[in-house]
Amino acid sequence: MASAEPGAGEAAEAAEAGYEVMPCDRTEQSQRLALEELISTEASYVHNLQLCVCDIRAHLRDKQLPGLDLEGLFSNTDDILHVSRRFLKGLEATAGQGQEQLLCISTLFQEFKEEMETVYKTYCASYDHALQLVESYRRDPRLQEEILATLNATVPHTGASDLSFFLVMPVQRVTKYPLLLGKILENTPSSSSAHSALQAAARAMAQVNANINEHKRRREVASKYNKAEQLTLRDRLARLNTHSIAKKTTRFSRLLMHETGIVAKTEDKEYDDLEEKFQCVASAVATLKENMASYLGHLEAFLLPSLHQPDLQMEQGPAQQHRRLSELLQSTVFPKFKQRVDRLVWQPLCSLSDTLEGPQQLVKKRLDKLLDYEKIQERKSEVGSVSYEEEAAMNTYLAINDLLVAELPQFNQVAVQLLGQILRSFSALQLDLAAQVLHHAEKELEQLPHGRMPLPSFWKVVEDSLQQSGAQLRAFCQAFETVTPSPGTQQPLTPAEERKVLSLVSKHGPDKLYQVTSNISGSRDLDLTLLRGQIVALLQSADTKGNTSRWLVDAGGPRGFVPAAKLRPYSPVQVQQPVMQLLGLDGGTEGRRHSCASPEAPRPQVATFTPTFQVVAGFSFSARRPQELSLQAGQPVVLLEPHDKKGSTEWSLVEVNGQRGYVPSSYLVTVPVQDPAGWSLPV
């Protein structure tokens, strides 16, 4: 990096010719020559840098060559030129100050060291990329010819055959400052009052170069890890080897020890706060991108042509004005809005999302390297030394961590600003869309009969129209109710409906059955949507808040709430008295799930059913003792006693095919049956 600057020798000779060397000792003369070299070479450097920025780059920009990356080539040379001009002006102002000149130059370096470090850090970090671009342009005859023509037209006196002749100048200049100061310091007596000031200036510029080199090294490490690789499964398997498997295993075990508390985590409060904020920004960007993609998808579907939209059979009036407004919005306003959203919101949002991928990769890689770092630190404390590879791994972690700590604050700030700008742009577009729609709508409204009507009168007309429409709708519903069959006079049930009723009776009993009297459309959470005539079973005659107007029902699968006013008791059959006596309901025994309670009020009969109930085996049962009786699922039984000899209702005495025995009461169910033309039991 410390190679000689172009034109430095000629500039020094010219400067020598302009100064009259006074008779003095060799040390003082060498000191003066060193000062002259510093000022003259700085002037030559600023001149060449100005040629690079104002002539060469401007000429190439005017050509607008495709494939030529001017930003990548010249980086922040504008900033360097701005700082160097001011620095040269300060150096020239020290001339003729005698012994105070050394102190002024030392002070000047101290004042400019931070600005120099900032601008040269950026340039040196991108210098390798600029050289790669130059090399790629050499392999392109068209671009190389244009670049050479530009150099011959703007700086023919330099004899430069390539852009690298100028691009290397900032790198050479910043590395030469410590050498020039050191040369002046060598020829300054230690007893001089400016000696300590020159030492401080030399150390400051040496530190600037060290910081630049460290920043460049961090950038190189970051460029290695911040690219999200799109690897196939085969590529990932090809990367597996003994070393990589051992390394991943060590990291995983270390992570487990962190999570279980066996080993304490390395705490870094500053980094943890920065990462937390970064993850919040990344999450917000990802969520907004997902929502915006959905929004644009719905907008795209809205703008699709309606192929089956019928034409209104009206040549004039509000309907035609509505259609005209809709066509205007769909053909002009909304497409332009979509284009603006795509350009001002979606594309910047995608760019911001892509920008986050690099830091996200570095954050992930930092965790991996932290686990390696902790393991190596433990080994170092035990053994006392580490290998070269382990030392490199530790340095890699430190470089990634320092880079993130140094740059995440600025990155988070810029990302939040961009995200806020995107949201403000979207809000402004929405407001503009609303204003356009309102403008077009007002133009159409002015042509309506009620367009100029006072607002109270207009709302009165609307209210009267709604009341009239509501009355017509209610009249239609009443007429519809009169022509449709009543729920009490049912049609024969289909086999599927029969099986559903059987299931509801077996689960809840016949006295819990209700029928829907009109269509129900669920409007709240946990509400059911049912059709007129459906059979449901009552579970609870109130909702969770105690509201008795909403009942919890079982619809043969889904369960939910329905209005109680739209349910009426349903009885497929009228229970015959002999069966009731057989089930022992006239005695004092409490009703069980396999028995049927007498209805409190007469229920409407269904003409297509034979009024009877039957007790059947709901499940198969195998007898395990002599007093027990085996049953098959669906087999009819005669219930003799709904309890055993000890009075326990867990067992019931039944008779099947002339044989008697006990079966579990929970295995018995009571089902409605009818003649062969109606209900049939499943086999």
**What integer pLDDT is reported at residue 311 of this predicted model?**
53
Picking from 7-11, 27-31, 438-442, which range would have the lowest pLDDT averaged per residue?
Answer: 7-11
Q: Look at 187-196, 306-315, 630-639, 640-649 and tell me which has the smallest mean pLDDT.
A: 306-315
Residue 681 has pLDDT above 60, yes or no: no
For residue range 116-167, list pLDDT tens digits in order: 999 999 999 889 889 999 999 888 888 888 888 988 888 888 878 888 888 9
Amino acid letter for position 642: P
Picking from 283, 284, 302, 304, the residue whose alpha carbon sits closest to that of residue 294 is: 302
- Number of residues written out for the chain: 683
- Predicted local distance difference test score (pLDDT) of residue 601: 40
Residue 525 has pLDDT above 90, yes or no: no
Write the CA distances from 201 to 57, 82, 97, integer angstroms: 34, 21, 19
- Indicate whether 23 pLDDT > 50: no
pLDDT at position 414 is 93
More confident residue, 359 or 24: 359
Give the pLDDT of residue 492: 64
Q: What is the mean pLDDT of the chain?
A: 79
3-state secondary structure of 162: coil
Q: How far apart are CA 115 and CA 108, in angstroms?
A: 12
- What confidence category does residue 595 fall into, taking pLDDT thresholds of 50, 70 and 90? very low
**Confidence (pLDDT) at 670:** 79
Rounded average pLDDT over 50-72: 88
What pLDDT was estimated at residue 234? Answer: 67
Name the E strands within 480-577.
513-516, 535-540, 550-554, 559-563, 567-569
To 10 degrees, the CA torsion angle through 76, 81, 83, 84? 140
Highest mean pLDDT among 107-111, 488-492, 500-504, 579-583: 107-111
How many CA atoms does the CB half-sphere of 465 hold within 13 Å? 6
Per-residue pLDDT at 672: 66
Local confidence band at 598 (pLDDT 50, 70, 90 cut-offs): very low
pLDDT at 329 over 70: yes
Closest to 564 in 3D by CA, of 587, 583, 536, 586: 536
- In this predicted structure, what is the pLDDT of residue 237? 63
Res 267: pLDDT: 75
As a whole number, mean pLDDT of residues 608-618 equals: 63
How far from the centroid of its chain's Cα atoms is residue 372's Cα? 30
What is the pLDDT, as a whole number, of residue 609?
A: 41
What pLDDT is attached to residue 611?
41
Higher-confidence residue of 449 and 57: namely 57
pLDDT bracket for residue 231 (50, 70, 90): low
The confidence score (pLDDT) of residue 481 equals 64
